[in-house]
Amino acid sequence: MSMLSGKAGHDLFVYGSLQESEVVKVLLNRVPDSVSAVLSGLFRLKGRVYPTILPDGTGEVTGKVLKGITDDELKMLDEFEDVEYDRNAVQVALTDTSEKLQVQTYVWKNKHDPDLYGEWDFEEWKRHDKEGFVTATKKFLEDRKLPEAKTRMDTFRTFFKQDSENGKPLDSC
């Protein structure tokens, strides 16, 4: 827990789509205070519109530390990140000050995943996938209210598969 935002809460390093304020606002109904930070190890996932990290010291990923995340918000983000990720403690360096900060982040569970490759580009994602991702995130929130709620993975697969059937590619990464 941290007092960075002036109130007790969790500090969470986010990367990929969760750097986008519009996605965070859909999930949390607010955009928490944040500060830029760096962590090692970012990978693309073949066939996915989101990246993952495996902190390994060989590369750097730029992201944000969301400050003052409540327990309920953390539960929502855990549900959104689904079974593919573990939430782990990591150390990041704040971009402005180089200060080291102990935070939590979502780390890919399958360290030997054959679909891990290359780098993921946030600006490219914003140009090509942001709109569909925000729409799929809204659909995930709507669907989770249903008795037969889908996981985020299933919602996104269905959403992006439907797009591919309408002539749009499944993934532009």
By the 8 A CB rule, do 14 and 36 touch? no
- How far does Cα 135 stand from its chain's mean position? 15
Q: Which of 20, 60, 79, 81 is catalytic?
A: 81
Q: Helix, strand or coil for residue 97?
A: coil
Is the Cβ–Cβ distance between 31 and 24 less than 8 Å? yes
Which of 19, 93, 24, 21 is CA-nearest to residue 60?
93
Annotation marks residue 81 as catalytic = yes
Sign of the torsion angle spanned by Cα atoms 117, 160, 73, 151: negative
How many helices and strands in the chain, by DSSP H and E? 5, 8
Catalytic residues: 81
